[in-house]
Each structure stands twice: as structure tokens, then as C-alpha cells.
A = this chain, B = another copy of it.
């Protein structure tokens, strides 16, 4: 495998950005690990960080490069800071960046990346779980599979999230009027229903949440919603709270799920 620390420019955001990228590389001589290449078009996983983290975090908190070393896929790890993968009410247009500009940039730099939706996946933890599901539900023309680990999936409840004035103000900067999030374009429950009705191709979905996680109820709620709508959902839960030791383990389950389901 190759690991690339990339400094590039985003015209959508109007600033220099960073991403970490893992590319498959066929190697013979690496000790303790096999490296498998891919001479065709390379399936790509967009792997998203949570709040407080950035583009480096999956690479630092897990062994993600090792986990994908024999899968022949690429992993793109971007940052959207604290932007919740939205076009912020007061702030940057991270949704446009992540759903449109970033895939174009990646396919331009690394021309072997597949541009088929069947080969384009999103996954993430917490805020990044929300982001991944949003890519699946609101950009399903680009992303064919999406996985959420401990996702913050029900942003319609955001008016209750901020305890202090400063926190409330932060949530407003992301989502605008907190009473109008429900049914808006950032509400995944509504987006799931709208996508289903639209007749467009649906993404395959995966969810995991720890049963002791403060986001557990949201996840159960989303599972029921998606099931009712008829989405192809793989749902898992197990003991655990909001910690990296679980995400290090469960990202391996996500990879297994992707490899098993991507072509059937």
C-alpha cells in the first residue's frame, strides 16, 4: 500500500485543504503484511472523521492501511473540520465539497479511481457516520454504499443538543434555525423517505452502534425507519460506548461488509 498526505486546493471552500489517501500497491517484499495491487479501476472508500477530529484520525487511531492492504481498494480520508458535512448556515459549503468537488478532485489526481457508484463507498464515525449516511442518501448517484459507526443520525433533535449559549450558537452556525432542521435537506430521516419515493437507485447501508453509546437510541430509531422504508440495511449492535477501540474493531466489519456486498 501507499499512504499519501495530500495538500490541495478547494475552490468550493476557497482554501487549502488536506487529505490522507491510501492507494493499493502490489508488493512482494514487505515483511509482516501483504500488499495487493489493482490494475483495473479502483473502488474507493471515503472515510469520514467525527467531531474534534480531522483527515488524519482514521490513520492514527486505527490500522486502516493494514486492514485494506489485500483488498485492492483506495481510501480517501478528507476533513470538513466541525462542519457536519453540511453547507453551513454560517460557514463553509462542506456538503458541496464532500459530495461533488472532492470525488472530482480525487479522480483527477488518481485517474485510476473508479467513478461508478457501485465502486464508491462512504463510511464514518459519529459526525462522520452522519456524513456517510448523507452521502448514501443524498448523493446516491455517486455513492452506492454507506456505513455509519456510532452515527449522530437524528439531527432533527439538534435543538436539544446545546447546553450553553455558545453551543447553541455553534449548532445554529451549522444547521441554521434549529426548529427548521426537521424535514430539511440535512434531516436524514426525511432524505431517506424522499430518496425512496424518487425511484432513484438506493444505496446499500450498514450501521453499528454500541449499546452504551449516548447515540444508541438515534441509531435504533434510524434502523426502524430504514427497515420500514425497505432499504437494504445491515444492522449490528454490541456492548460499547463512544470510543476508538470499538471503531478500530468495527471498521474491519465495515470493510468485510463492503467486500461481500459490493458486487451482488
Contacts and interface: CB of A to CB of B under 8 A. Distances in A.
Interface residues of A, number: 62
Interface string A1-33: 111111111010011111000010101111111
A218 to B, nearest CB: 16
6 cross-chain pairs, A with B, having the tightest CB-CB distances, nearest first? A90-B90, A111-B111, A2-B8, A16-B54, A5-B5, A111-B112
Nearest to A113: B111
Contact of A52 (B31, B110, B169, B243): B31
Nearest to A20: B5
A82 interface: yes
Nearest to A5: B5
Contact of A29 (B14, B66, B90): B14
Given A9-B25, A33-B243, 10 more contacts: A4-B4, A7-B56, A11-B27, A18-B54, A25-B105, A30-B52, A60-B63, A63-B248, A66-B248, A82-B92
Contacts of A37: 108
A80 to B, nearest CB: 11
A8 B112 CA distance: 17
B2 A90 contact: no
B110 A243 contact: no
Contacts of A1: 9
A180 interface: no
A59 B59 CA distance: 8
9 contacts: A4-B109, A8-B25, A15-B54, A16-B52, A31-B51, A32-B50, A37-B108, A60-B66, A61-B63
Nearest to A29: B14
Interface string A35-66: 10100000000000011111011011111011
Given A3-B60, A61-B63, A243-B33, A91 B53 contact: no
A14 B27 CA distance: 9
A260 to B, nearest CB: 20
Given A4-B4, A18-B18, A53-B15, A32 B109 contact: no
Interface in A78-115: 81-82, 90-92, 105, 108-112
Nearest to A1: B9
> Which residue of A15, A54, A111, A125 has the most chain B CB atoms within 10 A of its CB atom?
A15
Given A112-B111, A173-B91, A16 B57 contact: yes
A5 B7 CA distance: 8
A20 B263 CA distance: 35
